[in-house]
Amino acid sequence: MMNFSFLSISVSLVMIFCGLWSFVNYHKHLLNSLLSLEFMMLGIFWLLNLQLTNVGGELYFSLFFLVLVVCEGSLGLSLLVLIVRSHGSDYFKSFNVLEC
């Protein structure tokens, strides 16, 4: 019989690797890249919560990590809005990186 903690850890690792795989393979649009990064952060948050509850139940660090993930997500969305307004789409090949 499988242990619940082993199953939870394996599910979170699968989430991280699926997010990494989608980040590598589907990088044509900025929104796809941002969603795969958020999926990886969700897997890391889940793994962090599992490990911190095994250590001693101190979850303030995981809340701090969650705040940083939310700030990263809002920054990514604001960059997405800025790129769509300036270049017309979030397709990576539609804008030049060297352009001011």
- Rounded to whole angstroms, how far apart are CA atoms 43 and 37? 10
pLDDT in tens, 14-25: 999 999 999 999
- Residue 1: which pLDDT band, with cuts at 50, 70 and 90? very low
Contacts by 46-53, CB closer than 8 A, 24 or more apart: 46/8, 46/11, 46/12, 46/15, 47/9, 47/12, 47/13, 47/16, 50/5, 50/8, 50/9, 50/12
Nearest in space to 37 (alpha carbons), one of 80, 72, 89: 72
Please tell me the pTM assigned to this model: 0.82
State the average pLDDT over residues 75-98: 82
Residue 9 has pLDDT above 90, yes or no: no
What are the residue boundaries of the structural domains of the chain, listed by start? Answer: 4-94
Helical packing angle, 4-25 and 30-55, nearest 10°:
160
Residue 88 has pLDDT above 90, yes or no: no
CATH dotted code for 4-94: 1.10.287.3510
pLDDT in tens, 33-70: 999 999 999 999 999 888 888 777 677 888 899 999 99
